[in-house]
Amino acid sequence: MKKEEIVFGIIIALIFSFALLNPEVAHSAAANDTVTISINVSQVTMVDINPSNLTWSSRGSYVIGPGSVADNETEASNYSNIWVENIGSVNITKIWFDNSYPSATPFGTGNNGSYDPANMIVVDNSTDGDKNYTFVNRVEFPESDSMYIKVTTDINQTNGNLFGRFRNASNEYFFEYDGLASNCSNGGEFYWSDTAKTKTSTGDTDLTSGSSITLSTLEISSGRYTGNWSFGEVQIGGANQPYYCVAIPEDCSKIMFSNRNADAPGVTNSNCGNVTDYLSEDVLYPGAMKKAWVKAYVPLGVAAGILGGNTNRTLTVFVDTT
């Protein structure tokens, strides 16, 4: 082999070896480019509620019995509140609740399946959840006899004269509605006791000397509560108790006590001006959450077993973006 061929081969070998030891030199690329990103999100209203189930039952020394309060001590996962999360893309400006309730009185039936546990739910929007619990739309039903209670007018549901009780866990407050006619949406007088009946006390027995208001009339043209109602603002149990908007439908079938339910009869009317229409009117921005404390006030006289049977009873959240 010629000398020149040997030298050339050595040079080629050195170059090849250097490339193997320094691949960046052999495959250098110093170029880049960018992609401009643009995403236009549509206006979508969505809300998520968690936990999706609340299950209360007696545990250890904590017993759920008639007249008790079911809280985190007896909830299966120790939940004491629910969270409302804005998972949509627009601001939520108002939040309120609506609960299911039975179609007829469950008391005296002996059937635990006829009770609706959602009708026993109270909610609170305070910071620590210890002072402002109210029913959303607690429904009570007329009773056939006023028992030992002195009333203004003899009880006769057909004539629009109703008697019942507002059940608040271990406290019960008697009330009377003295309608103007068989149609319970024509106004009339609503009376209630100021002192509760409890397991150990009879409470007020004379409704003729207790608190009372004159009910106004209301027509609702659409929604779950469509129809004609008599309604007014009550504060049952004294000055430290919450206000409710009491409403009675035309057919005299039930008496509803509402707070934090903007859909319930009368709550947005000036005659129920001290009743809170909403759980919250603070802006809930997309991705933000709002907490509501929750308990169940179990009335006296509730049959043992799983209330509501196998039927799901619900607390529904509504939101508005206007």
**Residue 117 included in any domain:** yes
Task: Give the H or E element holding residue 19.
Answer: helix 3-21
**Residue 25 included in any domain:** no
Q: What is the pLDDT of residue 243?
A: 95
Can you read off the two tokens belonging to residue 56? 């209360």
The answer to whether residues 63 and 260 touch, using CB atoms and an 8 Å cutoff, is no
* Phi and psi torsions of 104, nearest 5°: -155, 165
State the Cα–Cα distance between residues 129 and 276, nearest whole angstrom. Answer: 16
**CA nearest to 134, candidates 281, 261, 270, 280:** 261
The answer to whether residues 184 and 162 touch, using CB atoms and an 8 Å cutoff, is yes
**Residue 310 included in any domain:** yes
Q: What is the pLDDT of residue 2?
A: 52
**Residue 242 included in any domain:** yes
Q: What is the pLDDT of residue 6?
A: 45
| SS3 state at 5 | helix
The total number of structural domains that make up the chain: 1
**Residue 10 included in any domain:** no
The answer to whether residues 265 and 97 touch, using CB atoms and an 8 Å cutoff, is no
**Residue 253 included in any domain:** yes
- Beta bridge mates, 231: 216, 247
From first to last of its 322 residues, what are the pLDDT tens digits of the chain? 555 554 444 444 544 454 455 555 556 678 999 999 999 999 999 999 999 999 999 999 999 999 999 999 999 999 999 999 999 999 999 999 999 999 999 999 999 999 999 999 999 988 887 778 999 999 999 999 999 999 999 998 888 999 999 999 999 999 999 998 888 999 999 999 999 999 999 999 999 998 999 999 999 999 999 999 999 999 999 888 999 999 999 999 999 999 999 999 999 899 999 898 899 999 999 999 999 999 999 999 999 999 998 776 999 999 999 8
**CA nearest to 300, candidates 197, 149, 147:** 197
Residue 186 CA from chain centroid, whole number: 30
**CA nearest to 176, candidates 204, 197, 155, 202:** 155
**Residue 36 included in any domain:** no
**Residue 282 included in any domain:** yes
| Containing structural domain, residue 254 | 47-320
User: Taking the model in full, what pTM does it have?
Assistant: 0.88
